[in-house]
Chains A and B, each alone.
Chain A
């Protein structure tokens, strides 16, 4: 087995097309450089619009390792503000979410508006001729939204969000069709941490190869129809596309990739019969009921958007890098804002079954990720392989490098972006 020499300057040489050094998971210096060169320089997903539904709504999160507040101001605009008072640096908000008129630092009561302007300084005479309030707003990140998904960046000169998303936009639109014409709404979030590097999770979302092995216990716990739907190992229609800019999509159930396309073959699963009965009694049309029931399975693909957000099944998967060897994962269940509540409730149950720290799936992923972190510390120069499927990769007419869903095309796309960004001076 060859090893990869640690470069004397920069770290981008540690990633090659088909392999990356284990040090990418274990070296604190690489993590620090990733914060500067990736998380402070690109679009980082921070919120879904439904999480901050009205003027005054806010949530707190991180961009890279820095604390931010995402707000909706009086004009309805979205703002992402560094959660750091301009006076002495205290956080100005320590709630996970809520409604507020503004933010006041608890230390000396400097107060800020929802869009970050410095509104008030107590006992201001000591600052006359010293501080102009216009010069000390909360640091504001550039913030843009697409299809209800909000991203922010410290880089004021970066390309527009939609340009960065590129061909991922096509798949975002398809994913959101499962809301059946209603607005998409975040219903709740499972949060857990694992003792491993953020890229281990980044790789996982479009890694179909692990699924039948790691999630055997979940497969054993679902009905035969669901298990059959996830039996994509030998399905040639199950593919992974590299979409550019680090983004990729892994299609597990091609029949569900676009819910507007229904060839009529699929039978509605018996486990949803109680919902069918309820909707029939409520006077819903057979076509509408069929659409609802097909949407119960989610989108049939995992869309990974570099560096920190994925759309999968019926949830958003957010990764938050905590340190070189700790990562937080949020699995945010989504449903319809409007429409039959019974469908949202059923989706909550489906989400609980797999996701979360006591689910039937995520703990098994985390067990694998923990062990990758420990093992990768054994000779961190030894490569991590991301070469599966190179022998059968081809490029579609859209220009997407493509291979089977069990292949590592998505990881290669992520590491190509990683390498480009880490090469920037």
Chain B
């Protein structure tokens, strides 16, 4: 198990700041801002198999490269998708950060996310183990990998109009 965070390394703090910013942007459904937070070669993955790292050979809920992220943002905003138009409001908490790796170019963080969604008189909660690889740069830090492992990924997950 990796170490629980000690708030001493500014590189790690920058990475956490970006993860929290992403959570705020997604709750605000500001998808244009969200898309700009990723590097060109980044992958955004919500796997089904809780144990795999071979996402390319597995069926995932989301397996987005730059092109798919762009299409996804268009879908969320164009007004054609009934589920996106009627998407739940969300409030998510990302915390319990641990550091997997850190150097001057990148930080790999793990964290826990609890997302609360409200739609049509009903609350739902999604729990996920998150992995972020944050590319550090003087030009602005960006997300190079995001993996959201839902704790119920192998069971039925409610269809969603929002992003994790």
Contacts and interface: CB of A to CB of B under 8 A. Distances in A.
A binds B: yes
Contacts of A220: 74-75, 78, 80
A230 to B, nearest CB: 15
A19 interface: no
A220 B74 CA distance: 9
A191 interface: yes
B1 interface: no
Contact of A357 (B68, B81, B158): B158
A363 B61 contact: no
Interface residues of A, number: 39
A345 interface: yes
B59 A333 contact: yes
Contacts of A216: 80-81
Question: Which one of B62, B72, B80, B120 has the greatest number of beta carbons of chain A within 10 Å?
Answer: B80
Interface in A207-261: 214, 216-218, 220-221
A187 B159 contact: no
Nearest to B75: A217
A385 interface: no
Interface stretch (B4-12, B95-103, B138-146, B149-157): B149-157
Given A220-B78, A221-B74, A367-B161, A96 B154 contact: yes
Given A328-B156, A357-B61, A363 B78 contact: no
A274 B156 CA distance: 34
Interface in A321-367: 328-329, 333, 341, 345, 348-349, 351-353, 356-360, 362-367
A173 to B, nearest CB: 25
Interface stretch (B14-22, B31-39, B82-90, B110-118): B82-90
Q: Which of B63, B78, B159, B163: most chain A CB closer than 10 A? A: B159
Contact of B158 (A189, A192, A341, A360): A192
A363 B157 contact: no
A370 B78 CA distance: 22
A348 B59 contact: yes
B58 A348 contact: yes
Given A217-B78, A358-B46, A367 B86 contact: yes
Contact of B156 (A192, A358, A360, A368): A192
Given A348-B58, A352-B61, A360-B75, A214 B82 contact: yes
Contacts of A191: 154-157
A188 interface: yes
Contacts of A351: 59
A301 interface: no
A364 B81 contact: yes
B60 A352 contact: yes
Interface of B: 46, 48-49, 56-63, 68, 71-72, 74-75, 78, 80-84, 86, 120, 154-161, 163-164
29 contacts: A96-B154, A187-B59, A188-B48, A190-B48, A190-B61, A191-B157, A194-B158, A217-B78, A220-B80, A221-B71, A328-B156, A345-B57, A348-B58, A348-B63, A349-B63, A352-B62, A352-B63, A353-B68, A357-B158, A357-B160, A358-B61, A358-B62, A359-B61, A364-B81, A365-B159, A367-B82, A367-B86, A367-B159, A374-B120
Shortest Cβ-Cβ A-B pairs, 10 listed: A188-B59, A363-B83, A366-B159, A217-B81, A217-B80, A363-B159, A216-B80, A367-B82, A191-B156, A367-B83
